[in-house]
Amino acid sequence: MFSAFIVFSCLVQMTAYALAERSEPWQKQWRTLIFVIFMLSNFILFPIVYPIPEYPDGPKCGMPILGITLGFWTIGNIFTILTHLFFKAVNAAMKNSATKNGHQRTSPKSTQN
């Protein structure tokens, strides 16, 4: 369930990046803000929201909470960084190929002149 939570988080992050691409003048600021929000979420929000496993016959200690928290801090942030770099690389490659082919992306405002 932990890996599904991380994958879902990466999908939400990529969807947010795709939506941020639509705001032409603020693309870089939105991507940075989304990246910071997901990094902070891995440190603070996701360990709190994630359900703690209950063991009816097992010991009553905080070790599962510690594992979940450290998992989000390490694995969650690694995947957040990889998702950010992947989206940046794909976006740069798409812009580069569009420029090579002579099709430059323009905003709708600049084509109305």
Judge contact between 20 and 27, C-beta under 8 A: yes
Q: Is residue 7 part of a domain?
A: yes
Q: Considering only 24-28, 44-48, 65-69, 83-87, which range has the smallest mean pLDDT?
A: 24-28
In a domain, 34, yes or no: yes
Residue 97 lies in a domain: yes
Confidence of residue 91 (pLDDT cuts 50, 70, 90): confident
Residue 56 half-sphere exposure toward CB, CA atoms < 13 A: 0
User: Would you state the structure tokens that stand for residue 74, as one six-digit string?
Assistant: 């390490």
Q: What is the mean pLDDT of the chain?
A: 83
* Residue 18 forms part of a structural domain: yes
What's the pTM value of the predicted model, to 2 decimals? Answer: 0.75
**Domain span at 37:** 2-53+62-102
The number of distinct structural domains making up the chain is: 1
Domain-embedded: residue 111: no
pLDDT at 104 over 70: no
Instruction: Report if residue 112 sits inside a domain.
Output: no
- Where is average pLDDT lowest: 18-22, 27-31, 42-46, 99-103? 99-103
- Per-residue pLDDT band for 38 (boundaries 50, 70, 90) equals very high
In order, the DSSP letters of 14-61 are HHHHHHHTTSGGGHHHHHHHHHHHHHHIIIIIHHHHSPPP--SSS---
Examine residue 80 and state whether it is found in any structural domain, yes or no.
Answer: yes
